[in-house]
Amino acid sequence: MTDLSIRANRVAALKAAAKERILILDGSWGVMFQKKGLTEADYRAERFAAYNGQMKGNNDILCLTRPDLVAELHDAYFSAGADISETNTFSGTTIAQADYHLGEQDVWDINLEGAKIGRSVADRWNAQNPDRPKFIAGSMGPLNVMLSMSSDVNDPGARKVTFDQVYEAYRQQVDALYQGGVDLFLIETITDTLNCKAAIKAILDWRDEGHEELPIWISGTITDRSGRTLSGQTAEAFWNSVKHAKPFAVGFNCALGADLMRPHIAEMARIADTLVAAYPNAGLPNAMGQYDEEPHETGHALHEWAKDGLVNILGGCCGTTPDHIRHVADEVRGVTPRQIPERPKAMRLAGLEPFELA
């Protein structure tokens, strides 16, 4: 069997599993690395010893300097009941990594090795239990720059990057993640829909060159009680902006805990003709920036979402741990996944607000 057919079989298994049950994503990576008490030397190792600036906190380079810890965390989340684990490549673009003075080859290697580590752990699990396969999602996170908003309050047209530059950064990430063996692409924690569109275009163009059609999962973030993304869109406007990609799943993550995220997930469940996914934070951070929500509290809240038919995929974001994911997995086991609604055909457009022509 060729590598292409093996991956095609995994994609088919992913889609089949999503019809049978609510799938479980992993939880936070940052909080788990923080618990390790890593030093600057852990982040640098020999490869980055002479690089300028601080490397501590750049969790993505642990794919190269402490791959053992990355593999250990994939394993912990799979043990907790996760069906899908993300690559440790949330900031794996040349634009984001420029803050740490990393070059193009460094960033390529982060994505390639991050995907290989996840693939190796998932393959080991799948060999032991082929009837309950594990999957690896290539994490494509937000950037530290925005295309939709000015970088200078005195110049509305000012931007630090162009669309082509953002597109190219994501295009490189897509190629490396694929070569490393991911099963799907996860464009996540989207604050700026135009940045997201560059990532989508990178994947679609890559497909058009004859590559495999891996599923796309798109996850935005509602940044506060306004119910809008940072670039100003409502949940429905956001969906109208990205639905042309025909994503495998769409939803929200980060910024909010389950209580505050629920109405936005409910709205997405009403309008999206694809799977709906959600992975909230463990509540809101306290005054010290820590997350106090206990695993059983997260599990109970997401059980309510599941029994009300709102979701197809659940997981955790900031502050969540393998214990949180274990409680979520236990709480939704046996609950029927959301049924995808049929919506009447209409022209649906997006600005900051949705617009529909019946």
pTM of the shown model: 0.96
Homologous superfamily (CATH) for 3-357: Homocysteine-binding-like domain (3.20.20.330)
The encoded tokens of residue 165 equal 């530059």
Quote the pLDDT of residue 357: 82
Quote the pLDDT of residue 212: 87
Q: N- to C-terminal Cα distance for the chain?
A: 48
**In a structure prediction context, what are the per-residue pLDDT tens digits for the chain, which is 358 residues long?**
667 788 999 999 999 999 999 999 999 999 999 999 999 999 999 999 999 999 999 999 999 999 999 999 999 999 999 999 999 999 999 999 999 999 999 999 999 999 999 999 999 999 999 999 999 999 999 999 999 998 888 999 999 999 999 999 999 999 999 999 999 999 999 999 999 999 999 999 999 998 889 999 999 999 888 899 999 999 999 999 999 999 999 999 999 999 999 999 999 999 999 999 999 999 998 988 889 999 999 999 999 999 999 999 999 999 999 999 999 999 999 999 999 999 888 889 888 999 888 6
The domain ranges of the chain are 3-357
Quote the pLDDT of residue 249: 98
Binding residues for Zn(2+): 254, 317-318
Instruction: Count Cβ atoms below 10 Å from residue 219 Cβ, excluding itself.
Output: 25
Binding residues: 254, 317-318
Quote the pLDDT of residue 351: 87
| C-alpha torsion sign, points 231, 236, 239, 241 | negative
Pairwise CA distance, residues 232 & 235, whole Å: 10
Pairwise CA distance, residues 318 & 236, whole Å: 24
Quote the pLDDT of residue 5: 84
Residue type, 180: G
